[in-house]
Amino acid sequence: MEKKVYSTSGKELRTITLDDKVFGLPVNDDVIYYAITNELANKRVGTACTKTRAEVHGSNAKPYNQKGTGNARRGDKKSPITVGGGTIFGPKPRDFSYSIPKKEKRLALKTILSSHAQGDRLTIVEDFTVESGKTKDLVAILKNFAKDERTVLILKDDDAKVKQAARNIKNLTFLSYNRLNAHDLFYGRKIIALESAVKNLSDFYADDKEAK
């Protein structure tokens, strides 16, 4: 597959060939679903906590006699059926995280990249940085490729200046080529990748062996 490379001003510069092992795969909805579900589960804090009748503060005394009152029998005020009583089967702190096979996660990322490349959501831009670290300078570049939509910028490395400039831009997520995540990548309406990042992606995801 061939894709055009653009300058930061939006002008066409040249054409490069994308690796079909990364950008030419058929879409696999199942692995995408599993990868996104896994990422969302791993982000859950799991701190929700409710008190059982054993943990609720209150008296253990029987509120009234068992018989002779005409009311239903009642053990104590901490019963779950009373106001202010304990909770039955309520949530407790727990760890929601789990792992999926690395090959499955890598396949999900490759099939998402392939989907964007084949659907013309992927735009390749020549390598650039933002020396000033100012948001307005990065906005001036991005406006040539994306409007007010959810955008993902794939970097060739951990460029601190670009990240500094991108922090305050609404609907923009920046990812390094070797630290992609399926959720942001899948829901990105526009994917902007630096030219070197595309080459790095091809090297990093071209085979099923785990990159070092």
List per-block mean pLDDT (blocks of 10 residues) for the chain, which spans 212 residues. 89 90 92 96 95 92 92 90 92 95 94 91 91 91 89 89 89 91 94 92 74 42
Q: State the pLDDT at residue 119.
A: 85
Q: State the pLDDT at residue 212.
A: 40
**Do residues 23 and 120 lie in contact, with contact meaning Cβ atoms separated by under 8 Å?**
no
**Do residues 33 and 108 lie in contact, with contact meaning Cβ atoms separated by under 8 Å?**
no
